[in-house]
Amino acid sequence: MTTPAVPAIRRGFVDTSFGQVHYRTIGDGPVLIMHHASPGSAKQLEGLMRLLAAEFRVVAFDTPGNGDSSPLSIATPTIADLAAGLLQAVVDLGIEQAVVYGSHTGANIAMELAIAAPGIVRKVVLDGIAVFSPEQQADYLKRYALPFTADLDGAYLMRCFMFCRDQYLFFPWFARDREHRRANGLGTPQALHNWVLEVLKANDTYPLSYRAAFAYDPPARIGLVGQPILALASEDDPLLGTTRDVATQAGAMFGTLPGFQAPDYGARLRDAVIVFAG
């Protein structure tokens, strides 16, 4: 028996007050809005989008100032600013009801979108919630996400490659020692290539969403989300502990997923979203 072909992911742009927001979409049915982790773009979500396409109309946005989306016209945008910018795109696309999913920085944006648009967002999936101590905030603001300003010898290209590669291996990526070693291993060469290209599209503006995430306070903000919440984290996600803590504090549902490289990781995440969204 022939397996039905998965429809292609289509891409488009939405005009907003600050420029254009780029998005990917696939599938039919109830709308699922997806927000990617930093750095990169919704390109990172394509595998999961295909898995969810049989149940949802999936719409995944590039965060303003990332991928192919224009940056906000704000020098130091907050997570609420990023969510407000994306809400313009949601409204322009005619989306009236949706479940919202976000990963890491995208989880913060999903929370703020739910707070800003309770009439549109009916449920929220938070995949990895970061909480930083004041010491971590100061360290990460100084060292974690720096612009890859173009230079004539191309050194910025190698710096960007190492930045992306080492995020697979360490957390934080610049602490290259045994204590901070991650156990999940590298992704494929093609996945790393794709990730580097997406970061380079926004080489000078991608740090803005990172800085917004470092300053964000999920424990204080999650209580303002009135919709049902499902919090998830992979067993090898550095944010597993903080995700569980914030979910417990908020009385949200919580689930642990297998490691990122596990064969059933995508299927388990897909099934959790489908059951919760139903």
CATH number at residue 113: 3.40.50.1820
pLDDT tens for 48-64 read 999 999 999 999 999 99
Average pLDDT of span 226-253: 97
Confidence of residue 183 (pLDDT cuts 50, 70, 90): confident
Residues 180-203, mean pLDDT to the nearest whole number: 94
Structure confidence at residue 161 (pLDDT):
98
- Please say if the pLDDT value at position 177 is more than 70: yes
Peptide bond into 39 cis (omega under 30): yes
List pLDDT tens digits, range 110-138. Answer: 999 999 999 999 999 999 999 999 999 99
- Judge contact between 134 and 200, C-beta under 8 A: no
| Structural domain includes residue 149 | no
Per the domain annotation, does 2 fall within a domain?
A: no
Within-domain flag for 197: no
- What is the reported pLDDT for 2? 55
Q: What is the mean pLDDT of the chain?
A: 96
Produce one character per residue of 222-250: b if its CB has 16 or more CB atoms within 10 Å, e if not.
beebeeebbbbbbebbbbbebbbbbbeeb
**Looking at the 3D structure of the chain, how many domains does it have?**
1
**Confidence grade of residue 187 (pLDDT, cut at 50, 70, 90):** confident
pLDDT of amino acid 126: 98
Instruction: Give the type of residue at 203.
Output: N
Please report, rounded to a whole number, the percentage of residues in the chain having pLDDT higher than 90.
94
Helices 105-116 and 79-92: crossing angle in degrees, nearest 10, is 60
CB-count burial class (<10 Å; 0-12, 13-18, 19+) for 144: buried
pLDDT of residue 4: 57
For residue 23, give its domain range: 10-132+208-277
Express each pLDDT in 5-56 by its tens digit.
Answer: 668 999 999 999 999 999 999 999 999 999 999 999 999 999 999 999 999 9
When pLDDT is averaged across residues 221-230 and rounded to a whole number, the result is 98
Task: Average the pLDDT over 93-97 and give the result.
Answer: 98
